[in-house]
Structure 1
Amino acid sequence: MMMNKVLVVLTNTTRYKGTDDATGLWLGEATEFVTEMSAAEIQVDYVSPQGGFVPLDPRSMKYTDQAIMETYETPDFQWRALSDSLTPDQVNPEDYVAIYYTGGHGVMWDFPDNQALQQIALAIYQQGGFITSVCHGIAGLLNIRDAEGHYLIANKSVTGFTTAEEVIAGKKSVVPFLNKAAVEKRGGHFRHKRFYREYAIQDDHLITGQNPFSAKAVGRKLVKALHATD
C-alpha cells in the first residue's frame, strides 16, 4: 500500500448534552497523533460531522506540553483542524490509508450515528486501510457495519476510555453510554489496563487507544502497520 493521507475526525459538540459544561476536542489526542504522522511524513486532513468549527475541551488545555502547543499554534492546525474542518461529503475515501477518530467527551454525541463518517471509514477499511481511534473516539467505531450488516467491532479486541476513568473524570453520570458496555453489546472484546496509563492495541486493521495518554501509541502502531503493508 502506498503511503498516503490519514483522515483525522474531530467533534463539533460544544457542551455535555443537558448541561452547561463545555466539552469538545481533547487537544492532545489530535496533536500528538498528528505529530507522529508528521514524523513519518504522512499527511493528514481533518473532518468533522458538520465541518467547519471544532471546539476545544477547555480541560484539555490544562494537560499540554511543548509538543502539543507547537502543533496547536501552527496556522495549519488552527485553520484546517479548528476553523475549517472538512464536511464528510468533501471527503473521497480513496485518498486515505487510514481514518483516526479523536476523543473528547463531545464525540459521544456526534460520532456514533453519523452515517456519512461510517461509510467513509468502511470504504477505507474495505480498500485495505485502517480504522483507528483513541479514548472516546471509540464512539466512531460502534455502529460501523460491514456489507452483511454485522458490526465491524464484533469479535474484535478494542479499547477506549474506561468506566473507572469516567468516574475519576467525574463524568460517569452525564455521558450517554459507557464504552465497555457499548462495545460488548455489539459483540466486541473491550480490553483495558490501569486508568490513565498508555495503552493501545491492534486487531487486524483496527487500532485503538484507551485514553488521552495513548494517542502517540496509536500513531506509532499505525505507522508500523502502514510500513508493513507497503
Structure 2
Amino acid sequence: MTKALIVATNTPKFNNVDRATGLWLHEATHFNQVMTDNEIDVDYMSPEGGYIPLDPLCLSADNMDQVDWDHYLNATFRDTHLANSLKPESVNPADYQVIYFAGGHGAMWDFPENKELAGIAEQIDQNGGIIAANCVGVTALLAMRKRDGNRFTSGRKLTSFTNDEEALNGLTSEVKFLPEDELRKTGAKFVKGDAFKPNVVVDDHLITGQNPNSATAVGEAVIKDLLK
C-alpha cells in the first residue's frame, strides 16, 4: 500500500515580532485531497509531534475554499492529524513512498536545521521514494545531505516561496531568512514563476512548489511520478 507522510510545523509565532504563524492550511489540505482522490493513505508528522498550529490568516474567508473547509470540519483531520501528529522517532521511513513538506512561515523556524526530519527524508529518497515540498516547506531540504555528504539541493532544479512574494507580503524584514536566497546559496537551480501563481518544478523524484496555490499541482506531479 502506497503511503504519504505530510510534514508540518509546530511553530506558532515569529521569534522576532509579535505575529502568529504556523501551517498554511491550504498547503496541507490540497495535497491531502489529491492523495485521497488517488486512494493513498496519509499520516501527519511534525518536528515535535502533537499539535500543529495554523496561521490565523489562512483561515480568513478569502483564503478558504471548499477543500479547506471540508478538511477543517473533518474530525479525523482536525483531531488526529492536526492535534496529534506523529513524532519523528515514531516514524519508520520504510513505510512511506512519499514525504511532503507543507509550508507556512512557521516552517522556517523548525525545518531548515532539523536533522531528524532530514534523516527520514533522506531514507525515503534512498529507498527510491519521492521528496515533495511546497512554499516555505521547501526549506526542509536545506538540512538534507546526499550519500556523499554534499547538500541534497546542490545542482537540483527546484522552487520555493520567492523573494518577490515575500516582498509583496510585506514580511521581508520580519522573516528569519528568505528561502529563495538560502536555497540558491546551496547551489540549487532555482526556478521562479509569477508571484502567487501555481509553479511546480520536477527534478527526477524531487517535486517542489512555489506558493500555497501550487499545492494541488505538487500532489498531481507526485501521482504522475508514482504511476511511472
State the TM-score, normalizing by the size of structure 1.
0.97
Task: Indicate the percent of aligned positions where both proteins have the same amino acid.
Answer: 45
Displaced runs of 4 or more, over 6 A: none
Q: Which residue number corresponds to residue 41 of structure 2?
A: 43
| Counterparts of 1:97 and 1:79, CA distance in 2 | 25
Q: Which residue number corresponds to residue 103 of structure 1?
A: 103
Q: Which residue number corresponds to residue 199 of structure 1?
A: 199
| Counterparts of 1:165 and 1:140, CA distance in 2 | 19
Q: Which residue number corresponds to residue 20 of structure 2?
A: 22
| Counterparts of 1:152 and 1:50, CA distance in 2 | 23
- What is the CA distance between 1:146 and its match in structure 2? 1.2
Q: Which residue number corresponds to residue 88 of structure 2?
A: 88
Over residues 76-117 of structure 1, what are the superposed CA-to-partner deviations in whole Å (9 max), with x where a residue is unaligned? 111222110000001000000010000000000000111111
Q: Which residue number corresponds to residue 164 of structure 1?
A: 164
- What is the CA distance between 1:15 and its match in structure 2? 0.5
| Structure 2 unmatched ranges of 5 or more | none
1:223 aligns with 2:202: no
| Counterparts of 2:145 and 2:186, CA distance in 1 | 10
SS in 2 for 1:53: coil
Which residue identity is paired with 2:188? G
- What is the CA distance between 1:49 and its match in structure 2? 0.2
| Counterparts of 2:29 and 2:213, CA distance in 1 | 12
Return the match for 2:57 from 53, 56, 59: 59
SS in 2 for 1:202: strand
Return the match for 1:31 from 25, 29, 32: 29
| Counterparts of 1:81 and 1:182, CA distance in 2 | 30
Over residues 16-47 of structure 1, what are the superposed CA-to-partner deviations in whole Å (9 max), with x where a residue is unaligned? 11111100000000000000000000000000
Which residue identity is paired with 2:148? E
Root mean square deviation, CA, Å: 0.8
| Counterparts of 1:79 and 1:202, CA distance in 2 | 33
| Counterparts of 1:76 and 1:142, CA distance in 2 | 31
Paired residues, number: 226
Q: Are 2:139 and 2:183, in contact at CA under 8 Å, matched by a contact in 1?
A: no
1:79 aligns with 2:79: yes
- What is the CA distance between 1:8 and its match in structure 2? 0.2
SS in 1 for 2:160: coil
Q: Which residue number corresponds to residue 120 of structure 1?
A: 120
SS in 2 for 1:142: helix
Alignment of 1:124-139 (within 5 A): 124-139=124-139
Alignment of 1:180-191 (within 5 A): 180-191=180-191
1:147 aligns with 2:167: no
| Counterparts of 2:9 and 2:67, CA distance in 1 | 22
Which residue identity is paired with 2:216? K
Which residue identity is paired with 1:218? V
| Counterparts of 1:123 and 1:14, CA distance in 2 | 28
Q: Which residue number corresponds to residue 4 of structure 2?
A: 6
